[in-house]
Amino acid sequence: MYVIYPKPQRVEFRAGQFDFNIKKVFFEQKMENVFSELKKFVDFEIGDVNASQILFLVKKDLGEQAYEIEVTEQKIVLSASQEVGFFYAVKTLKQMLNPHMRNVFIHDEPDLNTRGFMFDISRNKVPTVDTIKYVIDLMSGLKMNHLELYVEGFSFEYKSFPQYLEKESYITVEEYKEIEIYANSKYIDLVPNQNGFGHMGDWLKKDEFKDLAESPKGIHLWGTHRDPSTLNPLDPKSFELVKKMYEDMIPHSTSKYFNMNFDEPFELGKGRSKEVCEEKGLSNVYMDFALKAYDEIKKYNKIPLIWGDVLINHTDVLDRVPKDMIFVDWGYDAEYPFAKNLLKLKNAGIKFMAAPGSSSWTSILGRTYDSLTTVRNACVYTKLYGGEGILMTDWGDFGHFQPLSVTLTPLAYAGLLSWRTSEGTYKLLKHYVNKFIFKDNTNIMADLMLDLGNYNRYENAYASNGTNAFHVLMYANWALKEDDPIEYFTTKMNDKILTYQKYLALQDFLAAKAKDLQNANIDEVVRAEVQYGINLVSTFIKVNISLNKDVDENLRNKYLQEVIDSEQSLIDEIRKIWLLRNKVSSLEKSITYINNLVIFVSKLLGGKNGKKQ
């Protein structure tokens, strides 16, 4: 018996046994012209055989991505209506190959038409082309078919703005074309992705564009001051900038889609557009600007995708959403109401996708429960309410510290469940991850990664879109901007402080997982990445426990000193791990967060360690 991934729609085992001892396969001569384009995607060697034949038959009544496989004692028949169907059939057949394969019939097609992944290549970290191809290979094994490389700032080669491009900090146009060709060879659509409303902070820092900010002085948000990040939608020059960005990116793509983003325009209605937003309504001002961008995108014959965080809360303008625009509803916490939101979109007649998350960001080691729950709910309710598909996301908030390995298990779950949205898919996850993602014959890694992503269960309070451990790094950096950093930090961490028993339990847990990691039979890059993640979380919780006044002061100071003493080794490890899969990018900007953490820890110790105050 064998397991097929993702789970097929229908499998029938029949009487008899097929002695399958074939090393090479070929297309029948009469089929060669029909499948001349398919040949280059077939991973089998072409040549004469002595045993059986693999026949490729066109069945026009099958769906675009559907396929059938029939194995008998005499032959193997793969049927599909399109090349992509034959490609998926070959993927499945390769998993089935074994010396004593039973007679079998398989009918299969995906539950969700679009099964996507959005990979953040901004926020300081730009992956190498080889890393992106590695991700594409993993997606192909899962029969995923949609990839977006999220761009904000200057992580793409904007030909109109060469003065703002830094060496080894962006994907060049030639690299993008190379990636697209590779993705297309695996039947994965590389969809261009670029922000153009919110998340424009890197652009607004440039003297040339400072005047385009909605709020030039920024705003106070989430307990700290944030620099300007949102364009003023009323300034014609804002749209001219967006048009120029589109001109530099969209023509290089052959995809029929484009993700315009337009999420999180935090300052909208709080600055230069305040009066107009009060008069017309914030939602209408937002939609006016979005429709300008929509019209521009349509000039390139692209179908726009747009994040739904603004519009899902402004139902008064849902009727202004163009019928071909795809509304992407995103949520990264377990309680996110995909069921409610997607039903609302269905009833409004809006095309939609659902976007769960890997939850790797602002956690370092992930948040297993939140990630797998959002994936499940996104897939289930997208299927139930007739959505286009899902877009799994992996962001790089606050330094992009998480290693790629943490993302891979949630990505596998998204791939498996978006193909077959059925009960029991979770049971297949561990086997798939061990065998096909980490290639670990000790069968340790899947459990290890799922367990590590649950470290936040030791924490005092649930943290939305992050963990209490990561908040140590975040609040320490924000604290340095305050008049009384220690008071600010301790107030922010008040309900997050661990008991000493919890601290010891969490450190023991991390140490045990580190030991398990050493026993896994895995690539050394993966081992180094996961160990680095464990080390970073362990460091953060040392700062946490130093706030617990019930713990002996000498012990608390000892932990703080250990953090200070580890600064250089931490930075060396971050540099090493970063450069294994990524360009240099803005690595030094991320390292500044660690420097600031140590500066703050020095303040907790009373400034006795020679750090800058």
Cβ atoms of 103 and 13 within 8 Å: the answer is yes
Cβ atoms of 479 and 488 within 8 Å: the answer is yes
User: What residues have CB less than 8 Å from 207, skipping those under 6 apart?
Assistant: none
Strand partners, 117: 147, 392
CATH of the domain at 393: 3.20.20.80
Of the residues 397, 422, 447, the one at which a domain ends: 422
- CA torsion through residues 334, 340, 343, 347, sign: negative
Please work out, in degrees rounded to the nearest 5, the angle formed at the alpha carbon of residue 481 by the alpha carbons of 480 and 482: 90
Element (H, E) at 285: helix 282-298
User: Which residue from 476, 466, 471 is spatially nearest to 595, judged by alpha carbons?
Assistant: 476
Please count the structural domains in the chain. Answer: 3
User: Which residue from 610, 607, 612 is spatially nearest to 595, judged by alpha carbons?
Assistant: 612
**16 burial via Cβ count (<10 Å: 0-12, 13-18, 19+):** exposed
Residue 449: inside a domain, yes or no? Answer: no
**3-state SS assignment for residue 32:** coil
122 and 104, same domain (yes or no)? no
Residue 428: inside a domain, yes or no? Answer: no
User: Which residue from 280, 279, 275, 277 is spatially nearest to 265, judged by alpha carbons?
Assistant: 277
Residue 16: inside a domain, yes or no? Answer: yes
Residue 290: inside a domain, yes or no? Answer: yes
Q: Helix-strand-coil percent breakdown of the chain, rounded to 5?
A: 45, 15, 40
| CA distance linking residue 374 with residue 354, whole number of Å | 9
Tell me the C-alpha to C-alpha distance, in Å, between residue 439 and each of 119, 383, 444, 520, 599.
22, 31, 10, 10, 41
The domain of 58 spans 10-108
339 and 288, same domain (yes or no)? yes
Residue 69: inside a domain, yes or no? Answer: yes
Element (H, E) at 328: strand 326-330
287 and 389, same domain (yes or no)? yes
Of the residues 108, 138, 155, the one at which a domain ends: 108
What's the pLDDT score for residue 27? 46
Residue 609: inside a domain, yes or no? Answer: no
408 and 521, same domain (yes or no)? no
Give residue for tokens 């086997």.
Answer: 431
H helix and E strand count, the chain: 19, 15
50 and 161, same domain (yes or no)? no
Strand partners, 80: 58, 67
User: What residues have CB less than 8 Å from 198, skipping those under 6 apart?
Assistant: 229, 230, 261, 262, 263, 264, 265, 266, 268
Helices (H), 420-523: 425-432, 445-452, 468-479, 485-492, 500-519
What's the pLDDT score for residue 184? 93
| CA distance linking residue 490 with residue 609, whole number of Å | 21
Tell me the C-alpha to C-alpha distance, in Å, between residue 174 and each of 132, 156, 167, 170, 201.
14, 11, 15, 11, 26
Parallel, antiparallel or unpaired: strands 53-58 and 75-80: parallel
What's the CA dihedral at 151, 155, 160, 164 to 10 degrees? 130
77 and 174, same domain (yes or no)? no
212 and 297, same domain (yes or no)? yes
Residue 46: inside a domain, yes or no? Answer: yes
269 and 343, same domain (yes or no)? yes
280 and 407, same domain (yes or no)? yes
413 and 398, same domain (yes or no)? yes
R_g of the chain computed on alpha carbons: 26
Residue 124: inside a domain, yes or no? Answer: yes
User: Which residue from 159, 152, 446 is spatially nearest to 307, judged by alpha carbons?
Assistant: 152
| CA distance linking residue 595 with residue 540, whole number of Å | 13
Global confidence as pTM: 0.94
Of the residues 377, 399, 422, the one at which a domain ends: 422
| CA distance linking residue 439 with residue 420, whole number of Å | 23
187 and 43, same domain (yes or no)? no
| CA distance linking residue 216 with residue 210, whole number of Å | 7
User: What residues have CB less than 8 Å from 261, skipping those under 6 apart?
Assistant: 150, 152, 193, 194, 195, 196, 197, 198, 199, 306, 307
58 and 122, same domain (yes or no)? no
| CA distance linking residue 513 with residue 533, whole number of Å | 11
Strand partners, 77: 55, 70
> Mean pLDDT per 10-residue run, the chain (613 residues)?
83 64 42 40 39 75 95 84 90 78 89 98 97 97 98 98 97 98 95 98 98 96 94 98 98 98 98 98 98 98 98 95 98 98 98 98 98 98 98 98 98 98 92 97 97 97 96 98 96 96 98 98 98 98 97 97 97 98 97 98 75 40
Cβ atoms of 147 and 186 within 8 Å: the answer is no
